[in-house]
Amino acid sequence: MQGTTSIYIPTATGFRVYLNQSGITPSLANSRGWHVNWQAVPVNMTEPQLCSGRTTAGSTGWIQYGTDGVYVNVDTTRCDGTSPPTKRYFTSLGGSSNHWTTSGVTSIYSPTESGFRVYVRKTGITPQQANLWNWHVNWAATAAAQGGGPEMCTGASSPGSGWVQNQTDSIYLDVSTTVCGRTVTPLYFTTLGANTSHWTALGVTSIYSATATGFRVYLKQSGITPALATQRGYFVNWAAYP
């Protein structure tokens, strides 16, 4: 599935998402219990537990990557911090057109205290076209690990650990959130971290079997196996609200 992290028509009272999957219909989506978890935070928020921002629509610094990709280095220097790796980054893709068929924006590369990189994949995309469509990155930065309180709780799975083969070209991971001490199932949000190659992966932002103590994610990528996920250091950044 593609599209659920591509934000359309944001206003003070709502937004739209499109889902791209072969054969999907509204009745089928509802029979499967599909629903959207959402969180709204102020733009350019700077608090000890949460800092937010976005690149500029129409003039984001996209750079060409191959023939079907672009990337951008996102600057988060205005957020307070000490030394890496004390941040978890969570992202979505904004724009006016065509971003619902992309992949990659929730795969975080090279995270530091001062920023991170994301790659976005779409056939034939160029920086010029991305900016004509007003593509931009919405982002939130949280502490690397905080839990046990009544507010937001964050963490990450161990790099390269716990992945299980599902079917050909797919693996899954059961993520424990017991550190949060929740008794009621929260809303979970995720991004994918790794050393390499994760921008073409799909699925990690789709939450399965959510409980107060954890959830499952499935990851789809050509040729992926638990051994390859271990080699690449795949892991899941997660945040639980409230």
What's residue 81's pLDDT? Answer: 58
**CATH class (in words) of the domain with range 153-241:** mainly beta
CB 189 within 8 A of CB 89: no
What's residue 151's pLDDT? Answer: 77
What's residue 150's pLDDT? Answer: 63
Where do the domains of the chain lie? Answer: 6-143, 153-241
DSSP secondary structure of 88-147: EEEEEEE-SSSGGG-B-TTEEEEEETTEEEEEEE-TT--HHHHHHTT-EEEEEEEESSB-
What's residue 242's pLDDT? Answer: 85
Tens digit of each residue's pLDDT, the chain (242 residues): 788 999 999 999 999 999 988 999 999 999 999 999 998 988 888 877 788 999 999 999 999 999 999 999 999 988 865 444 468 999 999 999 999 999 999 999 999 888 999 999 999 999 999 999 999 999 999 887 776 556 789 999 999 999 999 999 999 999 999 999 999 999 999 999 999 999 999 999 999 999 999 999 999 999 999 999 999 999 999 999 98
Rounded Cα distance between 130 and 72, Å, is 11
Tell me the pTM: 0.92
What's residue 84's pLDDT? Answer: 42
